[in-house]
Amino acid sequence: LGNLLQVTDAIKAYIQEKIAKTLSKFAQEVKNVDVSLSARGGDTGTHGKKEQKVDVTIHTVRNGIVRVEDSEGTLYASIDLVADKIDRKMVKLKERAISKGKWAGHAGPRDQGQALEEAAFKEYQDDVQYETSVFDQQEAINREFATLNKDFPPIVYRTKVVRLDPMSTEDAIEAMEALGHDFYMYQDVQSRTMQVVYRRATQGYGVLVPESKA
């Protein structure tokens, strides 16, 4: 299932169990979950100490993207720690969203709300996507790039399609913070133009607004 990284049925089942259990409390706010597994060092043929990385990207209904990752000596350890991080991030996201009236789930009695969210979660639980990869495989990346994108200069190693969700600048800042990035590209909900919010070196944030030359 992966280059130098074997993803067994047992690992898949463990990911489903841990991630599904963690996200069941937030199910009605989750649209899609991508899980990427990768390895480096040790017997993989790459440099450095042996690490197994789990990267989870959660696409929410109305609150942007949440990204969590962790690298440990085994996949099982990485999965456990990622699940803990997901829970903490989603709790914070839910608290902020409820205060702004942007939470799609139930904020009422815990038993009823949780039961409804768990039922909704089962509808997309089987859609969790698994992708395997290996760190430091520059040659493999170069070959993939050469096949898919011959029009770019050799120094460009990878291209990525980014889906831009319409949102306000405030929502884009929250999405950027949730991802732990220094910038975030989005489609402005009013102008429908692509914009980039970024963290300034001194303080606060900035926004890049593209403008075509006359």
Sequence letter at residue 46: T
* Average pLDDT along the chain: 75
Percentage of the residues of the chain whose pLDDT score is greater than 70:
66
Query: Mind listing the pLDDT tens digit for each residue in 165-181?
Result: 788 898 888 888 877 78
Q: What is the pLDDT of residue 138?
A: 45
Q: What is the pLDDT of residue 209?
A: 92
Percentage of the residues of the chain whose pLDDT score is greater than 90:
14
What six digits make up the tokens of 187?
């489609």
Query: How distant, in Å, are the alpha carbons of 56, 85, 141, 154, 163 from that of 145?
Result: 24, 33, 6, 9, 20
- Span 50-59, average pLDDT: 85
Is it the case that residue 1 has pLDDT exceeding 50? no
The residue to which tokens 């399609």 are assigned: 161
Q: Are 167 and 64 in contact (CB under 8 A)?
A: yes
Query: Mind listing the pLDDT tens digit for each residue in 90-111?
Result: 998 888 888 888 776 555 444 4
Query: Mind listing the pLDDT tens digit for each residue in 117-139?
Result: 555 555 545 445 444 444 444 44
Kindly state the DSSP code that residue 180 receives in the 8-state scheme: T
Query: Mind listing the pLDDT tens digit for each residue in 10-52?
Result: 888 888 888 888 988 888 888 888 888 887 766 555 556 778 8
Q: Are 77 and 84 in contact (CB under 8 A)?
A: no
Distance CA 31, CA 159 (A): 24
- Kindly report the length of the chain: 214
Q: Are 190 and 204 in contact (CB under 8 A)?
A: no
Q: What is the pLDDT of residue 108?
A: 45
Looking at the chain, list the stretches that DSSP marks H as alpha helix, in order from N- to C-terminal side: 9-23, 75-99, 110-121, 138-148, 169-179
Distance CA 95, CA 211 (A): 36
